[in-house]
Amino acid sequence: MTTIESSPDAVGAAGGESAIGSFPVVAAAWLTSTDHKRIGRLFLGGSFVGLAATAVIGLLLGIERVDGGEVLFDINAIPQLFQLHRFGLISFTLIPLGIGLSIAVVPFQLGARSLAFPRLALAGFYGWVGGLVLVVVALANNGGIGGGDPDMVDLFLAGHGLMALGLIAAAASIATSVLTTRAPGMSMRRVPLFSWSALVSAIGVLLSLPVLVGALVFLFVDHRNARAVFGGNEGIGNWIGWAFTQPVSYVFALPAIGVAAELLPVTFARRQVMRGVVYTGLALVGVGALSAVTQQNVHNLPWSGSGLDTDQLGTKFDDFVPFALFNLLPVLGVLIVMAVGALGAKGARPSITSPFLFGFLGVGMILVGMLGGVLYPIDDLGLQGTVFEEGALVYVVYGAVLGIMGGVVFWAPKLWGRTVPDKPAMGLAGLGLIATVLASLPYYAAGFADQPAASPTYDYDGPAELWNALVLVGHGLMLLTVLAFAGLATKALRTIDDAGGDAGDDDAGDAPGDDPWDAHTIEWTTTSPAPFDNFAEVPVVTSAEPALDRKSLELSS
Amino acid sequence: MTLALPSGPAPAPRRQIFVGTALGCVAGTMLIGGQLAIWALIRDRAVDAGERFPASFEIPEVASNVMLMTLYALCLFAQWTVYSAKRGDHMHVGLSLGIVALMAIAFINAQAYVYNTMEMPVADGGYPGMFYAITGTMLALVIIGLVFTAVTAFRALGGRRGELELVSAHAMYWYFVAAAFSGVWFLVYVTK
């Protein structure tokens, strides 16, 4: 590019969007942007659409289960719907949400002027969207797992591979950013907690999704030709199902946990204590990626039998080690993050805001899902193949959605230059909590009653219809939450109130100050919204909480 | 009010291309490692069932051995590029990159020879599909490496800054490809 050319980004950054006022030009500027804020928002917008679609799939599946099947679809469509719901929760929603928020926020937090390899991240977005379209087309034409149209099943596999490659590309961009674009003075020990969680999650994606891609290549070639090795269309779920359940889902949910970790010291107006321990806690959640490396999520942990028999003790120990690695360490990681946060809160007067509420409730839901993930592999409980697994997955994914929503509200001033009104957002956090609990908790009970996951009918005298109806309502409420959140955010972002205001005000679209939350990290030292290059000048960092230090310095002087 | 921090000069680059390539190599290792694990699992199942794996196909071992040696030699030439770039010797950078590209093309040619010699229809049972899937993935990694070599040549010979970092990343990628193919060679071509 020569020096006399103006990139679309530069035009947009100079306020050219409204001046031009032409949709094709603005759309082209967005769709070819190398600005991390735009790429992140593209990912976030796409994944909120994906979340709404997944909630609709959950609704359809719930309707079939309540009425015992064949209400809207053929009985053979139920396993497809079930698998699609799992894939939607992970591939349409969880991974791109975390990646979207990370791309949008991490360069700010690092004091960087741009994302590393922004074109790679943008290509990743297009790969993900393209794959998503292929998958939806395949599914609409009976091409899901167990689908009846072989060509569409092939398309489904190819689409999933493309989505995974796109997400890998975006994750590589995030991880490289954290490792190479930090501001002067920002050592790895000073990286903000959200950025650290984004790094761990991105590395987890880089470790796990290539294994999925490798399996998809085998499945595609085999299914396209001989169908001799991998069980044809019915066997696909056995080979790639590990990527769409616990414990690898914890790695994808890590950015939501990072949002909560970031917000705890801000809420309690305290410095982060034991920062290294929180880093460790977040990294421990990342060991969920081990399950991807080994492609297993069930360890067949036998609990019964004579515990005094030394031979059996040895066998049990062999079973217990991978079980503990995959399932207990991530739980320990979240508990460490929360415990250190609680330590920092001692004696403080918290200022509860909507981002904190979203984040805190989200982590709580993720933790409940993780505890379900601990129970699921225990053989003697007989939960494998039941809806229990679905309940735990929905807890983790919907919990992560709440956490990411908290992040969007928190960083909205930097991304859009507007605040989302606090009280309505708090109401949405509450609605999201109810939706999450209703969409998942009943399946914990139904799992113990042996309700099968992939079949709408089963022989049980208990209140199965009630459980399924509650789950149906839960998915409906989550759909409502997403739509309401989108409406609230859109209203806030489209309304311009030049009078200014604090983040806690309820006026939609307040133009916020540069530091509306009285936060601690470096991104709050630049303007709201941030300029194209994020910072007018390269900031120099001398501590892990530079904004807090600056405020203390100004107060003391 | 903006809480402006003290400003400083732009930080020195932290080897972004090198780190990004390293992460790509990690992802590639997981890709090939996962495929080899599935290969080993399926082979074990076939052997346990008393079947021969592969059933009736002969793999041309000379060509596959040459492919391995080609990649090892290629790594030497990629390292020669780094050596030359450190000394600012553009002529040798260009020469070594040209040889790297030539050897990558030789690898692709040998792979095509293997496919042609085996005359194995992809739909003829389970083994051919698996063979084409894993060797095809490996072939894709080599083609990506070839593109990387071309980009490196354009940028390094064009006098772009960061030449040494780029050629170092380029060499690292070929080391990864050689290591990945070593696994494929041992599991697919030797022990079958």
SS (H, E, C) A138-207: HHHCCCCCCCCCHHHHHHHHHHHHHHHHHHHHHHHHHHHHHHHCCCCCCCHHHCCHHHHHHHHHHHHHHH
List, for residues B65-108, the tens digit of each pLDDT value. 999 999 999 999 999 999 999 988 889 999 999 999 999 999 99
d(CA B57, CA A508): 70
Do residues A529 and A414 touch, judged by C-beta distance below 8 A? yes
Percentages of chain B per state (helix, strand, coil), in multiples of 5: 75, 0, 20
The percentage of chain A sitting over the pLDDT mark of 90, rounded to a whole number, equals 46
**B21, B25, B30, B56: which to substitute to probe chain A, counting the most A Cβ within 10 Å?**
B30
- pLDDT at residue B119 above 50? yes
Token representation of residue A445: 């009970």
Distance from CA of A41 to the nearest CA of B (A): 23
pLDDT value of residue A79: 77
Q: Which of A172-176, A280-284, A391-395, B146-150 has the lowest mean pLDDT?
A: A280-284
- Distance from the Cα of B26 to chain A's closest Cα (Å) equals 7
Give yes or no for residue A320 having a pLDDT over 90.
no
Q: CB of B49 within 8 Å of any CB in chain A? A: no
Among A250, A238, A145, smallest CA distance to A197 is for A250
Q: Is the pLDDT of residue A331 over 80?
A: yes
User: Phi and psi of A358, rounded to 5°?
Assistant: -55, -50
- Least CB–CB distance from A538: residue in B9, B27, B37: B9
pLDDT digits (tens, 9 = 90+) for A63-100: 888 777 666 777 677 777 888 888 899 999 999 999 99
For A530, the closest chain B residue by CA position comes to B2
Q: Average pLDDT in the A516-522 region?
A: 89
Name the minimum distance, in Å, from the CA of A518 to any CA of chain B.
11
Alpha carbon distance A301, A290 (integer Å): 17
Residue A233 has pLDDT above 50, yes or no: yes
Q: What is the DSSP string of A89-121?
A: IIIIIIHHHHHHHHHHHHHHHHT-SS-SSHHHH
Tell whether the torsion through CA atoms of A534, A539, A543 and A545 is positive or negative.
negative
**Chain B residue closest to A525 (CA)?**
B3
Average pLDDT over residues B150-156: 91
Residue A242 has pLDDT above 70, yes or no: yes
Q: Helix A118-140 vs helix A150-180: angle between axes, to the nearest 10 degrees?
A: 160
What residues of chain B, 102 to 131, have a C-beta less than 8 Å from chain A? 122-126, 128-130
Q: Residue A254 above 90 pLDDT?
A: yes
- pLDDT mean over A39-66: 90
Backbone torsion region of residue B6, taken as left when φ is above 0, otherwise alpha when ψ lies between -120 and 50, otherwise beta: beta
For the residues B133-160, what does the mean pLDDT come to? 92
Question: From CA A164, how far away is CA A326, in angstroms rounded?
Answer: 22
Residue A296 has pLDDT above 80, yes or no: no
Closest listed residue to residue A410, CA positions, set A400, A423, A401, A419? A419
Q: How confident is the model at residue A495 (pLDDT cuts 50, 70, 90)?
A: low
Q: Domain extents for chain B?
A: 19-190
Q: Do B3 and A554 touch (CB under 8 A)?
A: yes
CB count, 10 Å around CB of B181? 24
> Which of A180, A221, A525 has its CB closest to that of B19?
A180
* Whole-number CA gyration radius for chain B: 21
Query: Cα(B87)–Cα(A142) distance, rounded to whole angstroms?
Result: 61
Overall average pLDDT of the A367-395 stretch = 89
Q: Are A118 and A97 in contact (CB under 8 A)?
A: no
d(C-alpha A369, C-alpha A392), whole Å: 4
CA of A310 vs chain B CAs: smallest distance (Å)? 31
Q: How far apart are CA A407 and CA A43, in angstroms?
A: 14
pLDDT at residue number A4: 32
User: Which one is predicted more confidently, A152 or A309?
Assistant: A152
Which has the higher per-residue pLDDT, A307 or A143?
A: A143
Neighbours of B29 (CB within 10 A): 17
Q: Look at residue A499 and tell me whether its pLDDT is greater than 50.
A: no
Domains plus CATH for chain A? 1-32 (no CATH), 33-556 (1.20.210.10)
Size of the A and B interface in Cβ pairs below 8 Å: 149
**pLDDT greater than 50 at residue A13:** no
Q: Which of these ranges, A150-164, A350-364, B82-96, B158-172, has the smallest mean pLDDT?
A: B158-172
Q: Do B34 and A207 touch (CB under 8 A)?
A: no
* Among A174, A96, A98, A173, CA closest to A135: A96
Among A374, A341, A344, which Cα is nearest to A360's?
Answer: A341
Confidence at residue B80, expressed as pLDDT on a 0 to 100 scale:
95
Residue B113 has pLDDT above 70, yes or no: yes
Within 8 A of B1 by CB-CB distance, chain A residues are 513-515
Distance (Å, whole) CA B168 – CA B18: 7
Share of chain A above pLDDT 70, in %: 86
Say which range, A142-146, A204-208, A535-539, has the weakest mean pLDDT.
Answer: A142-146
pLDDT of residue A69: 64
Question: Which of A64-73, A151-160, A223-232: highest mean pLDDT?
Answer: A151-160
CATH fold of B19-190: Four Helix Bundle (Hemerythrin (Met), subunit A) (1.20.120)
Query: Which residues in chain B are closer than 8 Å to A211, comparing Cβ atoms?
Result: 30-31, 33-34
Residues of A in contact with B41 (CB under 8 A): none
B7, B37, B42 ranked by CB distance to A540: nearest: B7
Distance in Å, alpha carbon of B58 to nearest chain A alpha carbon: 19
Residue B24 has pLDDT above 80, yes or no: yes
Interface contact B30-A211, CB threshold 8 A: yes
B122 vs A210: CB contact, 8 Å cut-off?
Answer: no
3-class SS shares of chain A: helix, strand, coil, % to 5: 70, 0, 30
CA distance A55 to A538: 43
Cα distance between residue A408 and residue A406, in whole Å? 5
pTM: 0.91
A403-434 as b/e: b if 16+ CB within 10 A: bbbbbbbbbbbbbbbbbbbbebbbbbbebbbe
Q: Which residues of A touch B19 (CB under 8 A)?
A: 176, 179-180
The DSSP secondary-structure symbol of A511 reads E
Q: What is the pLDDT of residue A240?
A: 87
Residue B30 touches chain A, beta carbons under 8 Å: yes
User: Is the Cβ of B19 closer than 8 Å to some Cβ of chain A?
Assistant: yes
The answer to whether residues B151 and B2 touch, using CB atoms and an 8 Å cutoff, is no
Whether residue A222 and residue B126 make contact (CB cut-off 8 A), yes or no, is: yes
Residue A94: predicted pLDDT: 95
What's the residue count for chain A? 557
Touching check for B139 and chain A: CB below 8 Å? no
Tens digit of each residue's pLDDT (9 = 90 or more) over B120-132: 888 888 889 999 9
Among B2, B126, B137, the residue with its CB nearest the CB of A214 is B137
Average pLDDT over residues A26-47: 90
Cα A495 from Cα A420, distance rounded (Å): 10
Q: Which helix (H) or strand (E) holds A73?
A: none
Inter-chain CB proximity A515 and B3 less than 8 Å: yes
- Yes or no: say if B147 and B173 are a contact pair by the CB < 8 Å rule: no
Query: Could you tell me which residues are beta bridge partners of residue A497?
Result: A510
Q: Output B183 or B44, whichever has higher pLDDT.
A: B183
Mean pLDDT of chain A: 84
Interface residue of A154, A178, A179, A523 to substitute, partner B, most B CBs within 10 Å: A179
Across A95-110, average pLDDT? 95
Point out the least confidently predicted range of A107-111, A433-437, B44-48, B75-79.
Answer: B44-48
Q: How far is CA B138 from each of CA A69, A110, A295, B77, B178, rounded to the nearest angstrom?
A: 45, 36, 21, 20, 10
Which pLDDT value is given to residue A323? 79
Give chain B positions within 8 Å (CB) of A537.
4, 7
Region A184-189 average pLDDT: 91
Structure letter (DSSP) for residue A33:
-
* pLDDT at site A231: 83
Residue with tokens 């080690």: A321
A143 φ/ψ angles, rounded to the nearest 5 degrees: -120, 20
With beta carbons under 8 A apart, name residues in chain A contacting B13: 180
Would you place residue B57 in the very low, low, confident or very high pLDDT band (cuts 50, 70, 90)?
confident
Please give the average per-residue pLDDT across A229-243, as a whole number: 84
- Whether residue B182 contacts residue B141, with contact meaning beta carbons closer than 8 Å, is answered with no
Which residues of B, range 67-86, sit inside 8 Å of A by Cβ? none
Q: State which residue of chain A sits closest to B9, comparing Cα positions.
A: A538
> Using one digit for the tens of pLDDT, what is the confidence trace for A438-481?
999 999 998 988 888 877 666 766 777 888 899 999 999 999 99
- 3 state SS of A539: strand
B140 interface with A at CB cutoff 8 Å: no
What does each C-alpha distance from A346 to A264, A268, A350 come to in angstroms? 12, 9, 10
Q: What is the average pLDDT across B119-145?
A: 92
